[in-house]
Structure 1
Amino acid sequence: MTKSYHVWTLSYDRLPKELHLPYILTGYRQPYKPWSYYVISLFHVHNELLNIWTHLIGCVLILFQIYYYHGLYSAEGSELRFTVIGFGTCCFITLFNSAIAHLLHSKSSHANYVIFMYDYVGVVCWGFGTAILALYGVSSHKMYEWVHPNYMLVQLLWTYFNFINICFSKLWYGHDLASKARKRMIVGGISLQGLWNFTPWFPRYFDCYYDTGCQLSSLNHITIVCISFIVMTLAFVLHQPERTWPGRFDIIGQSHQIFHVLVIITMCLQFRALYIDHQLKVNIHCKPEVQELLISILLLNIACIFTIYILSGTVKRKLGTKSK
């Protein structure tokens, strides 16, 4: 179609408040259209277009990372290929779910709530994947032996409850990403889960500091991942540059697009960190069980999707409308 996005889309004041994005004034797709309209919007200009495509391209990139690194580890007979499968699967789910959510959520207020809960499955799945990487990729030997028996089970439960936390943050405070209370719930829950992810590998910094033969720079590959997580989080919470210049970054340059790019960069840095530790032979103690990891990922996704089904009724009651 040759119509400009100004004709094909709407401004924020013509939409239900649940469909508003912080400081984004124009470029909204029309609500209450057939699902095919939103699928076709993949090839139209609107304020979610880059959010969709960054993650779709990211999915392809992650599949390449899995293929590339799995081949390297397999050629050496390393069991870390199973870490790549588990972690990579979680990364792919995260990006795919987000792409679908940004593609379809504009249909209605009810669809926005339910579809973004589907997105949250991906959000927590990446947290679970990071836990897989932490234990079966970059952990210290002593901490691995100590936490290994129960670490993934605790992480599985923690991840699910974090999903519940994020869902309720939306149910209580709506889709307003600028809400400070909602941000505290989301960032707080994810940060607490992240602290548990620190457990297997953070002691490596202390061990290196007190080891005269070790330099902290040898852990730069892990430190860079941590810095990337911090920068990514800042992009999510600050809403810059659109907060300072509302309306100027509606289509290109908004913070959520930057956040998506940083997510993909962080994932790639995580793959890199695993491989550097493999080259340094400091993770030879890691013995991932691919069947256990994949079953855990499957159970997590089933539990989350079943929870969405239950909460969809609560969403209808909250909005006081029927699903379109």
Structure 2
Amino acid sequence: MPRVSFAPPSLCLALPPLLDRLLPSLPPTVRDVDVPPLFRERFIRAGYRPVGLSWRCYVLSLFQIHNETLNVWSHLLAAVGVVMRFLVFAVLQGGGILGFRLQGPEGQGFSVDVSSLPLVLYVLSAITYLSCSAAAHLLQSHSEQAHYSLFFLDYVGVAVYQYGSALALCLYSSDTAWTQSMLGHVFLPAAALLAWLSCTACCCAKLRFQRPYPLHRKLCQVVPMGVAYLLDISPVAHRLLTCSWTSSSALPLHFLQVLLFLLSAFFFSCPIPERFSPGSFDIVGHGHQLFHILLSLCTLAQQEALFHDFLWRRPALVREFGEQHLLLACASFPCLTLCCTMTALIMRRRAQAQLMKVQR
């Protein structure tokens, strides 16, 4: 009688080692004294990932509990929310919102929907800053060079979002009195310049100052971004101060996004509540996490307000601003992105040279 073997197939035997190679067990988190000073945060005592692991380990740490987990997930989920809400809005409006649409009796060829291009660029800018921020916080512990490079990328995303917001707010959320004012005439060039200055100042402050960071390092970051925000929000502030909030469904949403931004700026500037109880908010509840969550909510509220303003301004947008002016304004968006990217690459090279000098 032939023997019957119940041994598992060789594939089953090979599967666990294969999974171990694809999904390695992640090392436990460590305390602040176990990582170089560059990776430490004030009043955060534990929850750090070891430095020098493989890139795969940091990617998989997306599913690990550490002191950056909420920073990453808050912006990842917000990016998904921005995309999904925009797609729903585009479908509900019957298409033609994506910047291009079919034309002609047989549906052949494309025509540019100039009035919707600023909205598309705004959504793209929001996805850019949220994704860059999530990538920076997820991967920055790989090495000192990666830390600098990724946060320079993060600052590029912030600058791109600043200008994307300014472009959309200028074209959709402004009223005639503001548009015809002196500020309205110089708004977009000034917004582009301040966005680039914010990126440059943040990169320089990151590279120039070492831990423990002095107060003027934070000022180098906050002041340019604060001035840029005051300019960027001026179309909305003018309407909030001069119009009845019942006249537009967007105005309460604009007020909400301003409030959320101010709260997020507070937690970005002040390490609260961890300052009052170091080590108690390492994983959940420290100031930078609150900053991320509030800024994500601010972005979602701002996007919703812009949808309302877009429907309000779209019929007369081309007539009021002119097609060439709209195209030129939209063309400035990739120009700013390129300038900020070049700045970050220059700063990355300087960081690399600085690290090599220290190692010698």
Structure 2 length as normaliser, TM-score?
A: 0.77
Q: How does 1:135-284 map to 2 (within 5 A)?
A: 135-146=170-181, 150-174=186-210, 179-208=214-243, 214=244, 219-277=251-309, 281=312
Q: Work out whether residues 120 and 163 of structure 1, in 8 Å CA contact, stay in contact via their aligned partners in 2.
A: yes
Change (3 A) 1:252 1:215: closer
The range that moved more, 149-158 or 255-264, is: 149-158
Letter in 1 for 2:307: Y
Letter in 2 for 1:193: A
Q: How many corresponding residue pairs?
A: 315
Q: Which gives a bigger RCO, structure 1 or 2 (Cα 8 Å, sep 6+)?
A: 1
Letter in 2 for 1:251: I
Change (3 A) 1:274 1:312: closer
Letter in 2 for 1:157: L
Unaligned runs of 5+ in 2: 1-19, 98-112
Select the residue among 132, 135, 140 that pairs with 1:105.
Answer: 140
The residue that corresponds to 2:76 in the other structure is 56
Tell me how far apart the structure 2 counterparts of residues 84 and 192 of structure 1 sit (CA, whole Å): 23
- After TM superposition, give the deviation of residue 79 of structure 1 in Å: 6.5
Kindly report structure 1 stretches of 4+ aligned residues shifted beyond 6 Å: 1-5, 76-79
Q: Work out whether residues 18 and 174 of structure 1, in 8 Å CA contact, stay in contact via their aligned partners in 2.
A: yes
Percent sequence identity over aligned pairs: 27
Three-state SS of the structure 2 residue aligned to 1:235 is helix
> In the TM superposition, what whole-angstrom CA distance separates every residue of 1:87-127 from its partner, at most 9, and x where no partner exists?
11110001000011011111122221221111111111221
Tell me how far apart the structure 1 counterparts of residues 128 and 70 of structure 2 sit (CA, whole Å): 18
The residue that corresponds to 2:155 in the other structure is 120
Letter in 2 for 1:46: H
Tell me how far apart the structure 1 counterparts of residues 165 and 292 of structure 2 sit (CA, whole Å): 17
The residue that corresponds to 1:301 in the other structure is 337
- After TM superposition, give the deviation of residue 150 of structure 1 in Å: 4.9
Tell me how far apart the structure 2 counterparts of residues 284 and 266 of structure 1 sit (CA, whole Å): 27
The residue that corresponds to 1:69 in the other structure is 89
The range that moved more, 20-29 or 291-300, is: 291-300
Change (3 A) 1:199 1:302: same
The residue that corresponds to 1:21 in the other structure is 41
Tell me how far apart the structure 2 counterparts of residues 295 and 277 of structure 1 sit (CA, whole Å): 22
Tell me how far apart the structure 2 counterparts of residues 175 and 275 of structure 1 sit (CA, whole Å): 42
- After TM superposition, give the deviation of residue 231 of structure 1 in Å: 0.7
Three-state SS of the structure 2 residue aligned to 1:243 is helix
Letter in 2 for 1:51: N
> In the TM superposition, what whole-angstrom CA distance separates every residue of 1:216-257 from its partner, at most 9, and x where no partner exists?
886433222211111111121222222212112211222222
- After TM superposition, give the deviation of residue 207 of structure 1 in Å: 3.4
Q: Work out whether residues 129 and 158 of structure 2, in 8 Å CA contact, stay in contact via their aligned partners in 1.
A: yes
The residue that corresponds to 1:211 in the other structure is none
- After TM superposition, give the deviation of residue 192 of structure 1 in Å: 0.7
Q: Work out whether residues 118 and 308 of structure 1, in 8 Å CA contact, stay in contact via their aligned partners in 2.
A: yes
Higher gyration radius (CA): 2
Q: Work out whether residues 118 and 330 of structure 2, in 8 Å CA contact, stay in contact via their aligned partners in 1.
A: no
Three-state SS of the structure 1 residue aligned to 2:120 is helix
- After TM superposition, give the deviation of residue 145 of structure 1 in Å: 4.0
Alignment of 1:32 onto 2:52 = yes
Tell me how far apart the structure 2 counterparts of residues 271 and 140 of structure 1 sit (CA, whole Å): 18
Unaligned runs of 5+ in 1: 209-213
Structure 1 length as normaliser, TM-score?
A: 0.85
- After TM superposition, give the deviation of residue 3 of structure 1 in Å: 10
Change (3 A) 1:321 1:65: farther
What CA RMSD, in Å, does the superposition of the two structures yield over aligned residues? 3.0
